[in-house]
Amino acid sequence: MSKVALITHITGQDGSYLAELLLKKGYTVHGIGGNVVPLNTGNAGSNFHDKSSDLHIYTHADISTGTARDLLAIIRPDEVYNLGGAGQLSENSDSADDLFSTGEFSALKVLEAIRILGLETKTRYYHASPSALCGLVNGIAINEMVSLNIYPSWYATGISDFWTIVNYRETFGLYACSGILFNHESPRRSENFVTRKITRSLANITQGLEKCLHLGNLNALRDWGHARDYVKMQWLMLQQDNPEDFVVATGVQYTVRQFVTFAALELGIKLRFTGKGVEEKGIITAIISPVAAALKVGDVIVAVDPRYIRPAEACKVNANPTKARRKLGWAPETSLQDMVIEMVQADLACAKKAARL
């Protein structure tokens, strides 16, 4: 008998990679999502819409009159991956749709449904907790011990979900855990996030579709991994003897400026940054590939726009993923450079297509 999984927000970046992973492992996958098409454009769409008979997707309209409990009663999943719970989202979330914002799939509702339906020993629960739970933390190594204790966060729902999960685990013995995932990107990432904004915009610039990439804080440091690697960790967390929370990250940080530099190089553009603060600009110093032949040395293709500078945020996130490595043997497989190449090439293909139209 194949295992049965339920994934909320299956049409998002993580949901689509996770669905692919589970289908490959022989799971029957049920997913919620669909009203909200991810903001990804062109190439970035998920490719699991292959009419697999092991995949069942419910749009929010399909289940708008039902509850999490109704759905769990029908599906009786072995594993629930709650990727779309209110409060697990980033500052620039693109998925605050009705079902989740009303809390129908909050950790509390889903865990209580598991308990009431008598699925405690059958159903394992994974919850995507935002690294933003850690609040405005600058420069402190965040592991599972300190993640929630160091700063009162504005992410009240996320915090409440996190402690609800601890409570159901300790009080009712449910197999429930939180993954505290730091930034994870891919060609399926929404353009609201800086990595995809960069790869898409630079690809567009080489094809004459845009003139300049406007960004906020170029000095911000982030720990960026590949979403495909991170969903493996989500699965692994539900395969252990005992449920535990894990920080998932690479442990290495880069600045936004470095990400821009790597992405530009992949497009055959060497950049020099001059000026400070809002005056900073990225200027082309060499064209080293025909891809960027339409551009010329001296062109300004990166500029700072104060509109994108956030008034308050963690500009340095120092995540410590040691526990994931030590206990689950997990390590990210994709380097930042390889991820940049994948994202840039996907966006370049899309830009070339758009330029031909």
313 binds ligand GDP (CB under 6 A): yes
Rounded Cα distance between 31 and 129, Å, is 19
Cβ-based nearer residue to ligand GDP, 48 or 182 = 182
Contact 181, 224 (CB under 8 A): no
Check residue 44 for interaction with ligand GDP (CB under 6 A): no
Q: Is 193 in the site for ligand GDP (CB under 6 A)?
A: yes
The span from the CA of 80 to the CA of 169, in Å, is: 15
- Candidate residues 217, 240, 258, 322; the one interacting with ligand GDP per rule CB under 6 A: 217
Q: Judged by CB under 6 A, which stretch of 12-20, 108-116, 186-194, 199-207 contacts ligand GDP?
A: 186-194
When the beta carbons of 45 and 216 are compared against ligand GDP, the nearer one is 216
Q: How far is the CB of 216 from ligand GDP (least distance, A)?
A: 3
CB 299 → ligand GDP: shortest distance, Å? Answer: 20
Q: How many Å apart are CA 2 and CA 316, to the nearest integer?
A: 43
Binding part of the chain for ligand GDP, among 37-45, 88-96, 228-236, 262-270 by CB under 6 A, reads: 88-96
Distance CA 8, CA 31 (A): 6
Nearest CA to 132 among 100, 101, 158, 95? Answer: 158
Nearer to ligand GDP, 91 or 170 (CB): 91
CB atoms within 10 A of CB 189: 26
Cα 286 to Cα 295: distance, rounded to the nearest angstrom: 10
Amino acid at site 219: N
Other C-beta atoms within 10 Å of 208: how many? 11
List 32, 177, 215, 227, residue binding ligand GDP (CB under 6 A) = 215
Rounded-to-integer distance, Cα 253 and Cα 318, Å: 7
Of the candidate residues 21, 238, 256, 351, the single one contacting ligand GDP (CB under 6 A): 256
Q: Which is nearer to ligand GDP, 278 or 286 (CB)?
A: 278
Residues that bind ligand GDP (CB under 6 A): 90-92, 183, 192-194, 197, 215-217, 220, 222, 256, 308, 310, 313, 315
